Amino acid sequence: RALFDSEQFAESAFRFDQALSAGARKELLKEAALAYLKAGDAGSAESRYSGYLEQNPDDKEARLAYGRVLAKAGKHTEALNAFGMATEHATHEDCLIMAELFFQKNLLVQAEHWYRESARKEDGITPRPLLGLLRVKLATGDESSAEALVLAIEKSNPGTIEGSGLSGEAAELLRKRRGSDYSERGLSPGEMTISELASALLSVASSPATEEPVVSRGPKTSPAGPLEPSDEPQPQPTEPIPGPAEDGLSLADAFASPVREEPDHLEQGRAAFVTGNYTSALLSARKAIKDNPESSDAWRLSSQSHFQLGEVREAEMTILEAIRHNPDDLQTYMEYLRIARETLPGPRYLNELEKAHERFPDSTEILWQLARRYHLVERMPVTAGILYRKLIEKAPKGSAIGQQAEMELIKIQNL
């Protein structure tokens, strides 16, 4: 220990091993692992942590340290298993590692969850979890959420997306969704970088308010009218969904059109959610539901906010409403399964997984969860093996989830 304190880590690790060989208590393996880790010998650290955890399986901090070592060694599945046994103690960095590993395996629902957890646990908001969420939303084709994230990131950390590897996709997204806005302002979006594209939308958030304090369409108080409860019907909501309302479906318009009479509560809620302000996100979601009770996205945002606030029962009720209004959306159903795992007893949760598989037979993510449930919880290897084989057939050749299913099938066959 004196050697460790004097930063002679290699010698310290050697002495710890000597003591263990002489019959010292096995708890010393943890100190030996840390010494090897400090000395840069990750392989020896891994074996010491493994030995220590066999004797001390409830040491969550050691379990997380073991997960970090495994992740650096490229043993992604083993790392996720280690992290999964101590998630309640995971730091924001641990959550970020888990998110990245799940993303590499193309398990996007899990990746999104851990990116959000990383942002929630972090002191302040840094770009890394938000960039991860953006990567997930681009991968799933959720353009509305991706646009909101692009603007949220560029507003809080200008220039961040440029060097992230996402600049091309993000720029194309804004050009596609906001092309008319750029044209109206005389801009050429094809020649602009992602930072310039985002800045053009964000910069008008303050300038119209300062340059034109009185709006041209009526009295100064009229834009705020719909924000206050009123028994009198407003002219716009009573009309059959006008075309221009489609322009209000993004965070960018919330900045670009401060004089619009009806705020986009859904996008405001999404912006609050990605920055970790879940209470504000919930309030905005409720307003969005009041605007349109049939909006599945609004119910889903409400559920996500409840879940992050620890209100699991409310999260379950609202995600079921989201499914009722959009029963064919896979991502919404995956959200429900994540919540159901927390609220339902084992047999009912398994039944929900079976129903989900029947509803979405081509979903490899649901098939993976069902196979894992039979394998690890129900202890039914034959059924799990059948499901793993089915998953291997459905998964794209060479995909991470297909390879993982092959590994799990080998484990079952070797039992």
Tokens of 61: 């901090």
Q: Where are the beta strands (DSSP E) in 180-272?
A: none
Query: What sign has the CA pseudo-torsion 50, 55, 57, 61?
Result: negative
Neighbours of 108 (CB within 10 A): 19
Tokens of 11: 């010698």
Against a cut of 0.75, is the pTM above it? Answer: no
What is the amino acid identity at position 345? P
- 267-343: in CATH 3.40.50.1820: no
What is the amino acid identity at position 403? Q
Longest dimension (CA), the chain: 88
Structural contact between residues 173 and 147, judged by C-beta atoms closer than 8 angstroms: yes
Class of domain 348-415: mainly alpha
Query: What sign has the CA pseudo-torsion 327, 329, 334, 336?
Result: negative
Nearest to 64 by CA among 77, 53, 51, 75: 53
Domain ranges of the chain: 125-205, 267-343, 348-415
> pLDDT tens digits, the chain, 415 residues: what are they?
666 666 666 777 777 777 767 766 667 788 888 887 777 788 888 888 888 888 888 888 999 999 999 998 888 888 888 888 888 889 999 999 999 998 988 888 888 889 988 888 877 667 889 999 999 999 988 888 889 899 888 888 888 898 788 989 999 999 988 888 888 888 888 888 999 998 888 875 444 444 443 333 333 333 333 333 334 344 444 333 333 333 333 333 333 333 333 457 888 888 787 767 888 889 999 999 999 999 999 999 999 899 888 888 899 999 999 999 999 988 889 889 988 988 888 899 999 999 999 999 988 889 999 999 999 888 899 999 999 999 999 888 877 788 888 988 888 887 6
Domains 267-343 and 348-415 share a fold: yes
Query: What sign has the CA pseudo-torsion 106, 112, 113, 116?
Result: positive
Length in residues, the chain: 415
